[in-house]
Amino acid sequence: MIANLDRSVANVIDGVIALQRAIHADPEIGFDTVRTAARAAVELRQAGLEVQEGIGKTGVVADLIVPGATRKIALRADMDALPMDEETDLPHKSKNPGAAHQCGHDAHTAMLVGAARALAPLRDELPCSVRFIFQPNEEALPGGAPAMIADGCLEGVDRIFGMHVWPLLDTGQIGLVTGPTMAQPDVFRATIVGVGGHAAAPHGCVDPVVAGAAIVNALQSIVARNVDPLDSAVVSTTQFHGGTADNVIPERIQLVGTIRTFKDAVGEQVRTRVREVTETVAAAYGCRAEVSMQIGYPVTVNDPDACDEAEGAISPAVPVTRDVSPSLGGEDFAYYGQKIPAAFLFLGNRDESQGIVHFCHHPRFRVDDAAMPLGVRAWLALVQGARRG
């Protein structure tokens, strides 16, 4: 099987890298992944798959139907870029200002297209049918997965797998976590309202800037003093907006931040405490707080049996390590896992000798060319080694 794998990967890898370069140079954000989806759809049709476009607004679903198979597994890639600028000197650097593939979704799409092209000629030998899912809008709430699911992308599918390039793991291996693997990312927003006025007369004002500073500090006590030390949680205040002049105490300021948790009960506890701390500290400073919460993607939970199936199939072809930590990043792959057994794989994407060390969303993050053939290889091994049905 390994010799065949080598040949299958070799047959498609030039096309995979060319597709990744093309998508990287022309990034699209959110649900506006029209050109990316079209590029994928063309290659999937050329490979002889049954292709549906416009699923979940701008997603693509392609089926490789294996004659006689009753089981179907799905493999999922995301297609969207981030609303940011890239700071690399790559020849295929983003040519679209304010958009860049700094999370590697260009590679996810290209690798999955390559896997589909490599698997199509082998259809009669495969143990089960395969659905290839290409979704938009992974990076922004409400995510792209719910719309894909609403359009039926999981109908008839027994199990789903996803893969993400992972700069915390050296290139050359796949990382796998059983159970909670990505966090729930909630957003809190607070407006702190005081009484504005002349900065030379603070006694005549109620200063929301000072209250806001106290709130930012007090919020740090939630993880330290309220959450069970054996559970994980993050509270990060990431925006603090207010004021227009050096001599004006503003009437109000805004705070925005993120809450990351792995358990529903911990998430509920932290959201409640963020609200209480913000309101009561504001009150202690004579201000009023208006707090709102935006509930993020659910926790991404890897099904133990789906992990075992993936590890058993992939490990003869690409080393699989369980020595990898869950991430407090969020991932809308979680929605698929709420419907059917799912496993989300981390594809090693780190090589210090090439300076490939930046985490996803960093302006100098980049995909390791050496990781892409391994990602394709892992997809092929997963399908060829999947349980027959």
Where along the sequence are the contacts to Ni ion (CB under 5 A)? 103
CB of 187 to Ni ion, least distance (A): 17
CB of 164 to Ni ion, least distance (A): 6
Which C-beta is closer to Ni ion: that of 37 or that of 103? 103
Which C-beta is closer to Ni ion: that of 103 or that of 183? 103
Q: Are 277 and 221 in contact (CB under 8 A)?
A: yes
Which C-beta is closer to Ni ion: that of 260 or that of 271? 260
Q: Are 372 and 20 in contact (CB under 8 A)?
A: yes
Cβ-Cβ contacts under 8 Å for 356 (sequence gap 6 or more): 167, 171, 349, 350, 366, 368
Which C-beta is closer to Ni ion: that of 103 or that of 118? 103
Q: Which residue is nearest to Ni ion (CB)?
A: 103
Which C-beta is closer to Ni ion: that of 105 or that of 271? 105
CB of 138 to Ni ion, least distance (A): 6
Strands 129-135 and 72-78: parallel
CB of 20 to Ni ion, least distance (A): 14
Q: What is the CA radius of gyration of the chain?
A: 23
CB of 213 to Ni ion, least distance (A): 33
Which C-beta is closer to Ni ion: that of 194 or that of 330? 330
CB of 303 to Ni ion, least distance (A): 20
CB of 185 to Ni ion, least distance (A): 12
CB of 74 to Ni ion, least distance (A): 18
What is the distance between the alpha carbons of residues 148 and 56, in angstroms, rounded to a whole number? 4
Which C-beta is closer to Ni ion: that of 103 or that of 277? 103
Which C-beta is closer to Ni ion: that of 103 or that of 356? 103
